[in-house]
Structure 1
Amino acid sequence: MTVLATDPSWALLRPEPRPAVEVVATGTPEASILPAPVTTGASTLPAPAKPGAGTAASGTGSGTGSEAAGASTLPAPAAARPSDSDLEVVRIDPDPATPGGTTTIHAFVGNGGPDTTASPFTVVITLPEGVSPEGPYFPSDCRVTGHGRVVRCVFGAGLREGRSATALIPVRLDPELPVGRLSGGSVTVRSVDDRNDGNNRQPFDIRVVEAAAGS
C-alpha cells in the first residue's frame, strides 16, 4: 500500500522574505533628501522580545509567553492505541526444489481478532542454511538482514479480524545441497497489538528433490 506524503493540516507556510528596496537620492550631492545616517550604536529596530513577553504572530495586541518564538501552541499528535487482536502464523511449506533451483516462501499471517490491527506488524522470515533470498519480494520494501538469511517485511495497520496477509520471498537453493528435507526455516510475526505470542512463530521445511531426467 502506497501512502502519499502530505503536509499536516496544522503546518504553517514559511513567510516570504521581504523584498529589498533601493532608495535613489535626487538633486546635488549637497542637497540629498535621504535621512541623516544613524549614529553608531543606535538602532531603529525594535528591541528583541524577552522570553515570555512576546507578541501574537498575527495580532496587534500583546501576547503571552506561550506565543513567543520557539514555543508551539499546537497539541502533540496522539499515538495510536494498540488494538485487541491476535496475529497468528500459519505453517505453509514451500514447493519442492532441486539443488540450485528456486522456490517461494509463503509467510502467511492471520488476524484472529476481535479487533482490527491499529499498529503495523513485522513478519520475519529466517531461512535455512544453504538457502538465499532472491527478489523481487512482496511487499516490495522487504529488507534482507542477518548475513542474507533473514528477511523482514512490514505491513501497515488495518488488518481486520478473519483476514490474512502474506509475504512472498523467492529463494534459491545451493547447488551442493543433498536431496532430502531441509529444516531450520521459520516465520515469526511481531506487533504491539498482539495479545497472544504463543502462535507467533511456525517452522517450515524445504524438500530438496532430484532434477528430472533430461532437464
Structure 2
Amino acid sequence: MTRSSGQLRRALLWTVLTACVLTAAPTADATVPTDGRAAAKKSRVYVAHIDPDPVPAGGNLTVRVLLVNEGPNATGNSFTVSVTLPQNVVATGRFFPAGCLSNLTGTSVTCAFPSGLGNQRTAAVLVPARVSPTVPAHSKLSGGMATVTNPDDPDAKVRTVTFGIRVA
C-alpha cells in the first residue's frame, strides 16, 4: 500500500503544481502580452480646462486648452486633440504646438501629440482665432468643443469638453 500512497502523493503534487502554473500564466487580459510585444501602457488624457478670452465682435482671441494625463502611465502612443470653434469664430493660424492643422474653413484645429506625456503631466493647445464682426455685443457663442482621442485610454473613451466664447 505504500506504493499506492506514494503514487497518490505524486499525483496530488502534480495537480497542485499544474494549478499554480496555470493560474500564474498570463491571460489575454493581462498587462504582459503572450506574443512577445511590450505591455500596453494605459493613460487617461483629459481636457482639464479651456480658457477662451472674452472678445469684442470682430476681435481676436486665443482659445487655450489645458490637457492632463491622469495616468497611471505615460502615454504609450500618440494622441490627438481636436478643437472645434463656435459658429462665427475662425482660427487665424500660428497654433501651438506648431504641428496643429486647421480645416479649410478654419472652424476646427487638430493637434497630434507624440507618445511619452508623463503621468500627472500637462500639455497645452493654443488656437488664435477671430470673432465675426457681425456678432451682437454681449452675447455668448456656444458650441465649441475640445476632444481628446487616445488609443491608450483604458476606458476606451473619446473625451470631449464643450466651451463658449463671451462677446464683449
Match of 1:136 in 2: 94
1:32-47 equivalent positions in 2, closer than 5 A:
none
User: TM-score scaled by structure 2?
Assistant: 0.73
- Between 1:92-101 and 1:82-91, the stretch displaced more is 82-91
Match of 1:187 in 2: 146
Measure how far apart 1:191 and its partner are: 1.4
Q: Per the alignment, do residues 126 and 79 of structure 1 end up closer, same or farther by CA in structure 2, a change over 3 Å counting?
A: farther
Relative contact order, higher structure (CA 8 A, sep 6+): 2
Match of 1:196 in 2: 155
Unaligned runs of 5+ in 2: 1-35
User: TM-score scaled by structure 1?
Assistant: 0.57
8 Å contact 2:79–2:114 — kept in the other structure?
Answer: yes
Measure how far apart 1:81 and its partner are: 5.3
Q: 1-side partners of 2:126 and 2:55: how far apart?
A: 16
Once the two structures are superposed, residues 61-103 of structure 1 have per-residue CA deviations (whole angstroms, 9 ceiling, x without a partner) of xxxxxxxxxxxxxxxxx97754111111123231100011011
DSSP 3-state at the match of 1:169? strand
Structure 1 stretches (4+) deviating beyond 2 angstroms? 78-82, 196-199
Q: How many percent identity over aligned positions?
A: 39
Match of 1:145 in 2: 103
Q: 1-side partners of 2:42 and 2:96: how far apart?
A: 27
CA-atom RMSD, angstroms? 1.9
Is 1:85 the counterpart of 2:85? The answer is no
Q: 1-side partners of 2:38 and 2:89: how far apart?
A: 38
Please identify which structure carries the higher strand content. 2
- Between 1:83-92 and 1:176-185, the stretch displaced more is 83-92
AA partner of residue 145 (structure 2): S
AA partner of residue 89 (structure 1): V
**Structure number with bigger Rg:** 1
Please identify which structure carries the higher helix content. 2
Unaligned runs of 5+ in 1: 1-77, 210-215
8 Å contact 1:131–1:171 — kept in the other structure?
Answer: yes
Q: 2-side partners of 1:137 and 1:146: how far apart?
A: 15
Measure how far apart 1:148 and its partner are: 2.1
